[in-house]
A = this chain, B = another copy of it.
Amino acid sequence: MAAHPYAPSDLSIPGFIPGSWNFTTILAIFGTLTAFFVSATWLLVGRVKGLQKVERLSVCWWVATGLIHTLLEGPYVVRTDLFQRDHAHSDFPTEVWKEYAKGDSRYAVRDSCIVAIEGITAFLAGPGSLLAAYAIVTRRPYRHTVELMVSLGQLYGCIVYFGTEILDGFVHSLPGMLYFWFYFIFMNAIWVVVPFLIIIRTFLSLHKAVAQSDGRLKQQ
């Protein structure tokens, strides 16, 4: 039955064409691009005066996550024929998802819950992340709020993402370090840990601002 490498083997993926790139190539490109954009952002943002180190780090995060959401997760949502594309029509995002689905085959069958979450991530959290980066650099009064909103959306998506797979009994991942632990657990855990830290930081910043604003009102 299985004309595909994914789990479980009785999964039906009509017209599936396997990826043609090696996973080391895919990881090397992903790692290089991410490192380039994070370093470039770090250096560029260093020129902005009055920015704390935690804000400079946050801008790097927002640029990286914003680009991943729009340029990598965007194509997944839009291209419904991604897993049926032949090698002539393949490219980086196509190869990424054909490889990533070894850690979560729900991507290969376009599970509606996955597509809905990816849609929100690509088209709301993606632009929202880039807006957060802009807002921090230009010190807009909505900077903490946008950071909080996007982080909360990312965290909500991850809870549903992991929660549904726990309820399904972890049947959609190939076993082993690379597929289950690195692709499925680690690559998603990043979007639990970092958003959680940003939620705490922005919650405290907003708490302080409202406390000051309330105090000012009382004085009047």
A-to-B contact residues, CB < 8 Å? 112-113, 115-117, 119-120, 139, 141-145, 148-149, 152-153, 156-157, 159-160, 163-165, 167-168, 203, 205-214, 216
| Cβ–Cβ contact A213 & B212, under 8 A | yes
Given contacts A112-B163, A141-B210, A143-B210, 19 further A-B contacts (CB under 8 A): A112-B167, A112-B168, A113-B160, A116-B160, A116-B167, A120-B156, A139-B214, A141-B211, A141-B214, A142-B206, A144-B206, A144-B210, A145-B148, A145-B203, A148-B149, A205-B210, A206-B210, A209-B210, A209-B212
29 contacts between A and B (CB under 8 A): A112-B168, A113-B113, A113-B116, A113-B164, A115-B163, A116-B163, A116-B164, A120-B156, A120-B159, A120-B163, A141-B208, A141-B210, A141-B211, A142-B206, A143-B210, A144-B210, A145-B203, A145-B207, A148-B149, A149-B152, A152-B152, A152-B153, A153-B156, A156-B156, A209-B212, A209-B213, A212-B213, A212-B216, A216-B216
